[in-house]
Amino acid sequence: MKQKLHKELQALFDFYLKQRQNPPAEFTHGTGVINNPSFFKVSDLQRHLNNPLLRPEWVHVKLNDQRIELEKSCFYKTVQGRKLDFMDKGRLNNEINKGAAVVLEGIDILDAGVNDFVARLDESLPCVMANSVVFFSQQENEAYAGHCDADDVLVVQLAGKKTWQLFKPQQRRYAGIQEQSEQQLGPVMHEIDMRPGDALYVRAGVPHRCLTKAPFSMHMGFDLVDNSPTTAEIAGEASNQYKHACELPYEPPSKVIDRYVGILKSSEFQQALVEATEYKRGEIAKFREMLGRSAAVRSLSKFN
């Protein structure tokens, strides 16, 4: 049974659905989609960062364009022959005090309400497992340089202000999209000031760069990651089938290609792709349901 969304997340989901019904060529900026966001505050970010089980894999910290290696702050205590890992938060705290930007991954794992929202995003697209990430930045310090994403991105500004610079759309791709130079980005086509409650929907392949001109900014991003069968998976299965029904020897490459393409276009292969996609959708839905169950232990409440 679906959980009712937090009213603010419902408003954000309604904004998102409008974008999917009539997708923009590049982006859509919605002002005041949420009135005074409260579903995730700076205090919530601090609470998650204070989790004693937090590991460096969850956090990306950057100061003055340099990544802070939190792995060097990891220690363990041996208890009954087992290593209990933990991270010294002193380094993280000091870097934030110096003005560092912090990215916390896996918000959909940490927050059951956000997981319910992300589950709606998953269901709305053919085969997606979305990610939820919080970005906290301070003046003149950003977590990431200009880049573009391989999938569409939904963003909501939670606190502070952030300026987004959008550039001319590029060919969607997986390679060469991170840390783009000024030459690769080209001229700024649009500049948007995001204030608390504003939402932004950015299409795949649209380069963007964020600037924190105000004292601080915090926004949450949702990566709508396409989990449809990949070209590698498709080619792997087609190659496997080709091994069992290949072209005659000594034929020119063109005939080999024709037979291989014939496998790809066959109704049987196309149906198998449909079934593989549906299977992935089912597994994603099970994962979301599991996250909902794993969000909290309530069985001890009866002893309080």
Domain edge (last residue) among 170, 202, 223: 223
**Phi/psi at 63 (5° precision):** -140, 130
Q: Do 287 and 162 sit in the same domain of this protein? A: no
Strand ranges for the chain from DSSP E:
27-30, 59-63, 66-67, 74-79, 82-87, 101-104, 131-138, 153-160, 162-167, 188-194, 199-202, 208-211, 216-223
Cβ within 8 Å of residue 216, ≥6 positions away: 136, 137, 138, 139, 159, 160
Residue 2 predicted with pLDDT over 80: no
Could you tell me the residue range of the domain that residue 259 belongs to? 231-294
| 7-8-14 Cα angle (round to 5) | 90
Structure tokens at 50: 């204070």
Residue 3 predicted with pLDDT over 90: no
Tally of structural domains, the chain: 2
> CA torsion sign, 228 to 234 to 240 to 241?
positive
Q: Do 193 and 249 sit in the same domain of this protein? A: no
Q: Do 238 and 280 sit in the same domain of this protein? A: yes
Distance of alpha carbon 85 from alpha carbon 74, whole angstroms: 7
> CA torsion sign, 176 to 190 to 151 to 284?
positive
Structure confidence at residue 294 (pLDDT): 75
Domain edge (last residue) among 223, 251, 266: 223
Query: pTM of the prediction?
Result: 0.94
Cα 73 to chain centroid distance, Å, stands at 26
User: What pLDDT digit, counting tens, does each position of 59-110 carry?
Assistant: 999 999 999 999 999 999 999 999 999 999 999 999 999 999 999 999 999 9
> What is the end-to-end Cα distance of the chain in Å, rounded?
28
User: What pLDDT digit, counting tens, does each position of 268-285 carry?
Assistant: 999 999 999 999 999 999
